[in-house]
Amino acid sequence: MSYGCQSMISPVRRMLVKHPKDAFIGPGNLAAQWKDLNYLDCPDYEEAVREYEYFVSLLFKTIPQIEYLPTRADTGLDSIYAHDPVIVTARGAILCNMGKPQRRNEPAAAAAYLDLAGVPVLGKITDPGTLEGGDVVWIDERTLAVGQGYRTNAEGIRQLRELTRDLVDELIAVPLIHWSGPADVLHLMSMLSPIDRDLALVYSRLLPVPFRQWLLERGIRLVEVPDEEYDSMACNVLAVAPRKCIMIAGNPVTRKRLREAGAEVAEFAGEEICRKGAGGPTCLTRPIWRE
């Protein structure tokens, strides 16, 4: 079986991504959409392509199979963040129902590709439920933490619990704060990135106290992101294998702390493909199969 991904840290064998050539299309498309999508600024198309090519070269160092979502007329710039529209379990994909209205067509687009790629659909989140992949964190293969906020609501979590009832022993809902409001993106993975079974990168100032204590009680060591590196997306780190991760360059304190905790860290420039759209390296990738 070449799918199944009930982990955030096991070695990735198969990865789904979307190239900016297929998400951004070109400078004119970027200029037309970025404000409506609440980007910080309009990405530079050529530089975005260069950043992305280097990012993918880092993925290829450890991941044998990388697949690309195709261009779709019914999806926009945000479709570069392939992590959010779908979750892949040991029994197939769960299609999300996006809390950001401009992204509502992305789960169907992902489903069309996965059907061709031999990944069955286990189920989907339907209205009035909303669920985005950035709020769904596998703590281990049988334990899920799901952020409840503006992008993922209680009904979406209820449906996810039902769909995974035979796959998950424990699913906990983590209430998220208002932060910058409903127009901005705040996922659970904005403040938590698993690095190994017993190691996680966190921004504790945003973590609910009971959830932070729950992580510690499970024996998970927390590496803290400093205040001055939160806005530069230091907390969004992709683990491609245990203690082997990729992060956005320009966060030296966080990088140093991860290395001191025994993690191997690779970096890429993410100004155009990450910071301007508020999506980090995890957001850019949807693992289909982790060992």
- The 10s digit of each residue's pLDDT in 12-65 is 999 999 999 999 999 999 999 999 999 999 999 999 999 999 999 999 999 999
* Band (88; pLDDT cuts 50, 70, 90): very high
* Band (125; pLDDT cuts 50, 70, 90): very high
| Residue 162 belongs to some domain of the structure | yes
Q: Is residue 184 scored above 90 in pLDDT?
A: no
How confident is the model at residue 1, as a pLDDT? 67
CB-hemisphere CA count at 13 Å for 262? 11
- Distance, CA of 184 to CA of 179 (rounded, Å): 8
How confident is the model at residue 133, as a pLDDT? 98
* Band (185; pLDDT cuts 50, 70, 90): confident
The per-residue pLDDT of the chain, averaged, comes to 97
- Classify each residue of 223-251 as buried b or exposed e, where b means 16 or more C-beta atoms within 10 Å of its C-beta: bebeeebbebbbbbbbbbbbbbbbbbebb
Domain with 64, as residue range(s), is 12-290
Which pairing describes strands 143-148 and 170-175: parallel, antiparallel, or unpaired? parallel
The pLDDT of 185-201, averaged and rounded, is: 97
The pLDDT of 75-88, averaged and rounded, is: 98
Strand ranges (E), the chain: 12-17, 65-68, 86-89, 92-95, 121-124, 136-140, 143-148, 170-175, 192-196, 199-202, 221-224, 238-241, 244-248, 264-268, 285-290
The pLDDT of 80-107, averaged and rounded, is: 98
Plot region of 280 (φ>0 → left; ψ -120 to 50 → alpha; else → beta): beta
Q: Is residue 183 scored above 90 in pLDDT?
A: no
Beginning with the edge strand found earlier in the chain, give each strand of the sheet holding 86-89 in spatial order.
86-89, 92-95, 121-124
| Residue 244 belongs to some domain of the structure | yes
Predicted TM-score (pTM) of the model is 0.97
Long-range contacts of 174-179, Cβ-Cβ distance < 8 Å, separation of 24 or more: 174/145, 174/146, 174/147, 174/148, 174/208, 174/211, 175/148, 175/149, 175/208, 176/135, 176/147, 176/148, 176/149, 176/150, 176/206, 177/149, 177/206, 179/206
| Residue 4 belongs to some domain of the structure | no
- Distance, CA of 211 to CA of 185 (rounded, Å): 20
Total domains in the fold of the chain:
1
| Residue 73 belongs to some domain of the structure | yes
Percentage of residues of the chain with pLDDT beyond 90 = 97
How confident is the model at residue 100, as a pLDDT? 96
| Residue 2 belongs to some domain of the structure | no
Q: What is the CATH number of the domain that holds 159?
A: 3.75.10.10
| Residue 257 belongs to some domain of the structure | yes
Task: Say if residues 39 and 183 touch (Cβ distance below 8 Å).
Answer: no
Place of tokens 């950043």: 51
| Residue 6 belongs to some domain of the structure | no
| Residue 200 belongs to some domain of the structure | yes
